[in-house]
Amino acid sequence: MMSYRDSKEHEDVHTNFKDRMTYGDYLKLDDLLSAQQRLSTHHDEMLFIIIHQVSELWMKQMLHELWASIDSIRKGDLEEAFKMLARVSQIQVQIIHAWDVLSTLTPAEYIEFRDDLGQASGFQSYQYRMIEFALGYKTPHVLKIYENNQELHNNLKSAYHSPSIYDVAIEKLSEAGFDIHPDHLNRSYTEPYQPDSSVEEAWTKVYKNVDQYWDLYQLAEKLVDIEDRIQQWRFRHMKTVERIIGHKKGTGGSSGVGYLKKVLDHRFFPELWDVRTYL
**Mean pLDDT rounded to a whole number for the chain:** 91
CA distance 138 to 190: 6
Nearest one of 247, 237, 244, 257 to 105, comparing CA atoms: 244
CA distance 184 to 163: 13
Planar angle of CA 184, 186, 189, nearest 5 degrees: 90
Planar angle of CA 107, 113, 117, nearest 5 degrees: 115
Could you tell me the pTM of the whole model?
0.90
User: Do 216 and 224 form a contact (C-beta atoms < 8 A)?
Assistant: no
Q: What is the pLDDT of residues 162-193, one digit of tens each?
A: 999 999 999 999 999 999 999 999 999 998 89
Confidence of residue 3 (pLDDT cuts 50, 70, 90): low
Return the pLDDT at 232: 96
Cite the annotated binding site for substrate by residue number: 48-52, 110, 114, 251
Cite the annotated binding site for heme by residue number: 237
Q: What percent of the chain is predicted at pLDDT more than 90?
A: 74
- Burial of residue 238 (CB within 10 Å: 0-12, 13-18, 19+) is buried
Residue 241 has pLDDT above 70, yes or no: yes
Under DSSP, the state recorded for 272 is: H
User: Do 139 and 277 form a contact (C-beta atoms < 8 A)?
Assistant: no
Q: What is the pLDDT of residues 10-68, one digit of tens each?
A: 666 666 667 788 899 999 999 999 999 999 999 999 999 999 999 999 999 999 999 99
| Three-class SS state of 258 | helix
CA distance 49 to 46: 5
Q: What is the pLDDT of residues 103-144, one digit of tens each?
A: 999 999 999 999 898 878 777 899 999 999 999 999 888 888
CA distance 130 to 152: 11
CA 116 to chain centre: 27
Cite the annotated binding site by residue number: 48-52, 110, 114, 237, 251
CA distance 269 to 98: 25
Return the pLDDT at 9: 60
